[in-house]
């Protein structure tokens, strides 16, 4: 069960800590000496229930989750979340107010764009509060306008306002949450943290719902974690079906109905318990190394190392994202001379630096430096970035 420490910068599914996978592999075969693997036992057994409880407890400790919020896990990925967030949150709004609220989206990259499209496709009253491309000097996803430029776009009643904290494809990350949303007691903030959860300190009390797919910072694809304000769960339950029908609110499929999932401790239907166990092993690993505080220190060193390397060759590398909103997880760049693209990847892979190709929609390169990538691994990439520029600059 050994392997050389990988230096894989893929955007997801992403590299996980080797010792976590080693433990998981053992538990897949024979969990706690019961003679069966953790994926082979009933999801309602004592051991499986304990995995669910442990994952919740460890996550609550890591993120300091207050009693006002509940944690649950659901099958599907971020895309499933786009749909379930829209229908559950609209149902909650109707439950509380007896009328429809708008589904507001702050579009800063392709994932928030897709989330908006899904709410619209579900025939909900979806609205783009701003699309950052309209405010960008290049007309691209590469910046986030100042609040003063868009806060006046907010008007009317919102069931929720949605943002994607870290746009994985475009490498744009919100440095702070927008004050005009979090300070408004009538607006529930819904946030996609799929690619930056557990990478930095966050204040849970500011969020109505957090959604995060597992396959980047916390585990394998297949499960998504949710942190939700308990009052939203109550509002969903209080919604009157006749009223919902009258307002044409789509019915949420039962396995994605948040109160049903929570009431059944995330096991209304068969939860992939092995996948959850890996998540919990990642949570335990993070706790043992010093929690979010320590991880944040490492992530700061990593992002500084790679951005400094790229910035020191401005005639060779192009960084399309505005410095103020550069992602600390997904570092996007291109070569000024794209005829060197193939050579860059080839030489990187000779050094076992893999997964660097940019997303197919934007091209160029992307180095994803999620939690599992060590400072040492990122420094290795930074050195390569500098050496390559030195050797190939005209
Ligand atoms: N949101 C973000 C920020 C993502 O990076 C991704 C996928 O990479 C998704 C949502 C969609 O996740 P999934 O492919 O699990 O549906």
Over residues 295-317, the pLDDT tens digits come to 999 999 999 999 999 999 999 99
CB contact at 8 A, 211 and 62: no
280 and 301 in a single domain? The answer is: no
User: Of all atoms in ligand 1, which is nearest to the CA of residue 82?
Assistant: 10
Query: pLDDT tier at 361 (50, 70, 90 boundaries)?
Result: confident
Q: Which of 131, 192, 235, 280 is catalytic?
A: 192
User: Of all atoms in ligand 1, which is nearest to the CA of residue 193?
Assistant: 3
Nearest CA, atom 2, ligand 1: 194
266 and 305 in a single domain? The answer is: no
> How much distance in Å is there from the Cα of 80 to the middle of ligand 1?
9
What residues make up the domain containing 313? 291-392
200 and 301 in a single domain? The answer is: no
> How much distance in Å is there from the Cα of 214 to the middle of ligand 1?
9
Nearest CA, atom 9, ligand 1: 78
In 214-329, beta strands by DSSP E = 223-229, 317-318
Nearest CA, atom 10, ligand 1: 78
Could you report the per-residue pLDDT of 214-262, keeping only the tens digit for each? Answer: 999 999 999 999 999 999 999 999 999 999 999 999 999 999 999 999 9
CB contact at 8 A, 10 and 373: no
Which residues sit with their C-beta closer than 6 Å to ligand 1? 12, 77-79, 111, 164, 168, 192, 194-195, 213
Last residue of a domain, one of 263, 286, 309: 286
154 and 242 in a single domain? The answer is: yes
Could you report the per-residue pLDDT of 19-78, keeping only the tens digit for each? Answer: 999 999 999 999 999 999 999 999 999 999 999 999 999 999 999 999 999 999 999 999
Q: Shortest CA distance to 6 belongs to which of 350, 15, 345?
A: 15
Residue 363: its pLDDT value, please?
Answer: 86
Residue 6: its pLDDT value, please?
Answer: 96
CATH of the domain at 387: 3.90.1150.10
CB contact at 8 A, 78 and 300: no
- Measured CA to CA, the distance from residue 32 to residue 26 in angstroms comes to 9
Residue 111 a catalytic site member? yes
Q: Which of 60, 96, 102, 216 is catalytic?
A: 216
For residue 22, tell me if it sits in a domain.
Answer: no
User: Of all atoms in ligand 1, which is nearest to the CA of residue 167?
Assistant: 3
Using CB atoms within 10 Å of the CB of residue 4, give its burial: 0 to 12 exposed, 13 to 18 middle, 19+ buried: exposed
Last residue of a domain, one of 286, 303, 323: 286
Q: How many domains does the chain have?
A: 2
97 and 241 in a single domain? The answer is: yes
Q: Shortest CA distance to 199 belongs to which of 163, 162, 166?
A: 166
In the 8-state DSSP scheme, what is residue 141?
S
306 and 168 in a single domain? The answer is: no
88 and 130 in a single domain? The answer is: yes
214 and 110 in a single domain? The answer is: yes
Cβ neighbours around 252 below 10 Å, total? 19
Residue 343 a catalytic site member? no
- Measured CA to CA, the distance from residue 261 to residue 309 in angstroms comes to 46
CB contact at 8 A, 168 and 196: no
């Amino acid at each position: 069960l050994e392997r050389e420490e990988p230096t894989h910068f893929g955007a997801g599914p992403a590299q996980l800590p080797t010792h976590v996978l080693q433990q998981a592999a053992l538990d897949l075969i024979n969990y706690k000496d019961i003679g069966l693997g953790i994926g082979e036992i009933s999801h309602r057994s004592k051991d499986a229930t304990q995995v669910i409880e442990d994952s919740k407890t460890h996550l609550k400790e890591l993120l300091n989750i207050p009693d006002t919020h509940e944690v649950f896990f659901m099958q599907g990925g971020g895309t499933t979340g786009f749909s379930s967030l829209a229908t559950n949150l609209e149902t909650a709004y109707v439950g509380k107010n007896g009328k429809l609220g708008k589904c507001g989206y702050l579009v800063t990259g392709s994932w928030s764009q897709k989330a908006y499209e899904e709410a619209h496709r579900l025939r909900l009253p979806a609205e783009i509060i701003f699309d950052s491309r309209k405010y960008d000097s290049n007309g691209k996803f590469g910046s986030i306008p100042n609040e003063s430029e868009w806060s006046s776009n907010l008007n009317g009643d919102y069931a929720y306002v949605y943002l994607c904290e870290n746009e994985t494809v475009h490498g744009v990350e919100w440095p702070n949450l927008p004050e005009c949303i979090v300070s408004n007691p009538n607006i529930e903030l819904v946030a996609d943290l799929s690619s930056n959860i557990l990478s930095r300190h966050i204040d849970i009390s500011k969020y109505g719902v957090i959604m995060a797919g597992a396959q980047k910072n916390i585990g394998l694809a297949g499960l998504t974690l949710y942190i939700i304000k308990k009052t939203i769960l109550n509002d969903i339950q209080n919604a009157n079906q006749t009223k919902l029908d009258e307002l044409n609110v789509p019915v949420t499929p039962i396995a994605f109905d948040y109160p049903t999932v929570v009431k059944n401790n995330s096991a209304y239907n068969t939860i992939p318990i092995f996948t959850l166990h890996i998540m919990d092993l990642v949570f335990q690993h993070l706790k043992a190394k010093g929690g979010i505080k320590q991880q944040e220190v490492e992530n700061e060193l990593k992002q500084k190392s790679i951005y400094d390397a790229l910035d020191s060759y401005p005639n060779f590398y192009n960084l399309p994202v505005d410095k103020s909103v550069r992602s600390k997880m997904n570092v996007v760049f291109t070569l000024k001379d794209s005829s060197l693209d193939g050579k860059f990847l080839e030489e990187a892979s000779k050094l076992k630096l893999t997964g660097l190709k940019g997303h197919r929609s934007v091209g160029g390169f992307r180095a994803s430096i999620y939690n599992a990538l060590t400072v040492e691994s990122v420094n290795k990439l930074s050195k390569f970035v500098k050496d390559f520029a030195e050797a190939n600059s005209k």
